[in-house]
A and B are shown apart, each in its own frame.
Chain A
């Protein structure tokens, strides 16, 4: 992070982030007890986790005030990470398309 920082201001932000992370944890556990479908629960849970992770990265890891080279390095990592996550999802979609085509082929016209 940049050399000229107001530490007192930073410390206040750290405590605010800590409070937000605790609230986020309570919200994640609370969402578990909601009577919603699995896709909705997954969306809520991963959204809260992403917000919490962003808070940690931006403020505790000082990414909000970092040098450009770090941003570019992380952007490249994120691109590879997304590709990595997409692989199993694409495999699933390909399987389902294959199964659908098989059913279509065996149905009498």
Chain B
């Protein structure tokens, strides 16, 4: 049985199933991270003025986090360039930008690894303070999303790209959908960075 509206738009919505699906998934992700941001606000308000002290004690590395922000923003650019390359019918350039996106995700995680290990060396664990608990919870969940996005992009850039020769529009749409997820991950970091490191 053929699944309808995988490429062509549904007459009711004007969109294919994949596009509707990814946006519904992203709305659930907004609520997931929203719940954690609400928790963050609650903890900060309830800290009786000790938040700044806990934040200072955690010794977060601002230069490394700034570098990570730049890496994620660059990966968002390479992601849209990968999609634009497919729209132009350039498979080679798509693969180049696709792997650059995956590579940027890898660099982000390596930097995060160095940040986390520095914390553990100073015996800063989630149970050490309320600040570190919510810091590890939110940045850890974000890192899991980066890993998921990398796997998704790696599949379409690698084995999944064979579809280019048989159903180019299908591949272009799927890359746009994986891009939507990747940009969302970038968008979450845009708020995590100032909230934990700077404010």
Contact = CB atoms under 8 A, between A and B. Distances in A.
Interface of A: 1, 5, 7, 10-11, 14-15, 18, 21-22, 25, 28-29, 31-32, 38, 41-42, 45-46, 48-49, 52-53, 56-57, 60-62, 67-70, 73-74, 76-77, 80-81, 84-85, 87-89, 91-92
B74 interface: yes
A29 B84 contact: no
A91 B39 CA distance: 12
Contacts of A56: 76, 183, 186-187, 190
A84 B34 contact: yes
Contacts of A14: 77, 80-81, 84
- What class of interface size applies to chain B in its complex with A? 35 or more
Given A18-B74, A45-B194, A69-B13, 19 more contacts: A10-B84, A11-B81, A18-B73, A22-B70, A25-B193, A29-B198, A45-B199, A49-B194, A57-B183, A57-B187, A60-B186, A68-B14, A69-B14, A69-B15, A73-B23, A74-B27, A85-B41, A88-B38, A92-B45
A82 B126 CA distance: 28
A49 B73 contact: no
